[in-house]
Amino acid sequence: MRKIRTKGREKTSVGNGNGALMAPVTERLHVEIALDRIREDLLGVATRSGLTILAALLEQDREQIVGPKRLWSDAREAYRYGYDEGAVVMGGRKVRVRKPRVRSAVGGGEIVLPSWEWATQQDPLDQRTMQQMLVGVSTRSYAKSLEPPPPGVEHSVGVSRSSVSRRFVAQTKAKVDGFLSRSLTDLDVRVVMIDGTWLGEHLMLVVLGIDAKGEKHVLGVREGTTENEGVCSSLLSELIERGLPVEQARLFVIDGGKGIRKAIRSVFGVWALIQRCQVHKLRNVLQHLPDQQHASVRAAMRGAWSSETEAAAKRKLNTLARQIETRWPSAAASLREGLDETLTVLSLGTTGALYRTLRSTNPIENLQSLFKRVCRRVTRWQNGTMARRWAVTGLLDAAKRFRCIRGHADLRRLTAALDAHCNATTSKANGGSPAAEKAA
């Protein structure tokens, strides 16, 4: 550091080792301090100007109703009634203001000033509260996340933990109720993914639908304690009541839970084809093997699932099961269990990006990670209603960023394959003849 004399004054500068001079440290600090002060002054001017304008509007409204001050008339319909303390929304908080009052000369009731009714709308505050909650601001830290108010402005209203919580609950309740009861009649859902995730001790079972165009839709949410058949069946039955047709060929992608599988079979019957998640199947097999065998078995299973045909994939998986059966029979049994259902998408002739998308539950697990990010600040789940409210709120926020699935251009061929498979299954169950099928 050295001093440089420039036109009769000294300023401090820093060298970079090569003799070149960097920007003067002192002047830079002065500029930053000045900008901070200008910012604070602008905020203060804007806030105080807004309050001054509001006060003028309120007095103008009162004068239009009552008449000029000190003008007395026996035929007057209203009269001045002093002032009262109120609050208006400004910058994500309620700011205290002095509110003029007007009373009716006939009934004695208070007359609401139009400017006051406009200024006290709650929508801006509710919207700010919702935005803060979705980005992960806790109710305890809400006040700290707002811009600091200018000196002399009262700001102690509407920023407490309980006030923020009440606004959030009131605003989300209507959205949750509307979301869980909306009609599904207009949706042509051909792929359904079901998976559960935990919020505290509450299991949130989520159903994600993919329509014929590849667009994703959150169909339903159900709170429970396990992925048992009863909870899953009630959720699927609720979707049917809301307009999801039963007699339509669909592909159900699940993680392999027995309760979910039984519920799908009992509710949708032959109209449902089940694809077991290959990622979960791989994990189940590897947990029965020693660590030194994981790499080779993982490569063999992934290579089999990447085969071009179902027959080739099944042959490779059965060969792998015979190779490991002697030393690790549990791993071989896990591999054989539900093996055909891990190849359902491949058996329908699906390849490429669409096959990679539908052979696992990754799309719905990505969705769950998005809404759990919204809930990460919640440390204590009071009840299932609270867990469901937060889950639906997070899902609605995540749905704003939905995109079509990868490989959606091939969905038409998948839909045709689904219809052909279910028609053949139905025809066989009815005796194999068109007449028997028509009679059924």
Residue keyed to tokens 């969905």: 411
Banded model confidence at residue 12, pLDDT cuts 50, 70, 90:
very low
Containing H/E element for 410?
A: none
- Token pair 């009609």 is found at 183
Spatial separation of the C-alpha atoms in residues 69 and 52, rounded to whole Å: 19
DSSP secondary structure letters along 381-403: ---HHHHHHHHHHHHHHHHTT--
Instruction: Determine contact, residues 294/282, Cβ cutoff 8 Å.
Output: no
> Which of 6-10, 370-374, 416-420 has the lowest average pLDDT?
6-10
Tens-place pLDDT, residues 229-284: 899 999 999 999 999 999 999 999 999 889 999 999 999 999 999 999 999 999 99
Q: In this structure, what token pair is assigned to residue 378? A: 């919640």
Q: State the residue for tokens 């990622």.
A: 279
Q: Mark residue 179 as left, alpha or beta (left: phi above 0; alpha: psi -120 to 50; beta: remaining).
A: alpha
Q: What is the DSSP pairing of strand 250-254 with strand 272-276?
A: parallel
Q: What distance in Å separates the CA atoms of residue 272 and residue 255, rounded to the nearest whole number?
A: 15
| Greatest mean pLDDT range, 23-37, 42-56, 354-368, 379-393 | 354-368
> What pLDDT does 213 receive?
93
pLDDT per residue as tens digits for the range 226-239: 888 899 999 999 99
Show the CA angle centred on residue 130, arms to residues 125 and 134, nearest 5°: 150
pLDDT at 79 over 50: yes
- Spatial separation of the C-alpha atoms in residues 263 and 231, rounded to whole Å: 9
Place of tokens 């519920």: 263
Q: How much is the pTM?
A: 0.68
Nearest to 221 by CA among 246, 242, 194: 194
pLDDT number for residue 168: 64
Rounded to the nearest angstrom, the gap between the alpha carbon of residue 100 and the centroid of all alpha carbons in its chain is 43
The ranges assigned to domains in the chain are 29-175, 177-429
The encoded tokens of residue 361 equal 């539950």
CB 190 within 8 A of CB 210: yes
Give me the DSSP letters along 285-337: HHTTS-GGGHHHHHHHHHHHHTSSSHHHHHHHHHHHHHHHHTT-HHHHHHHHT
The set of residues, in sequence order, having a beta carbon less than 8 Å from that of 397 and lying 6+ positions away, is 134, 370, 371, 374
171-194, pLDDT tens digit by residue?
Answer: 678 788 888 899 999 999 999 999
Give dist(CA 44, CA 22) in Å, integer.
Answer: 35
Contacts of 363 (CB under 8 A, 6+ apart): 193, 208, 210, 216, 357, 405
Helix residue ranges, H only, 2-113: 25-66
Contact 246, 233 (CB under 8 A): no
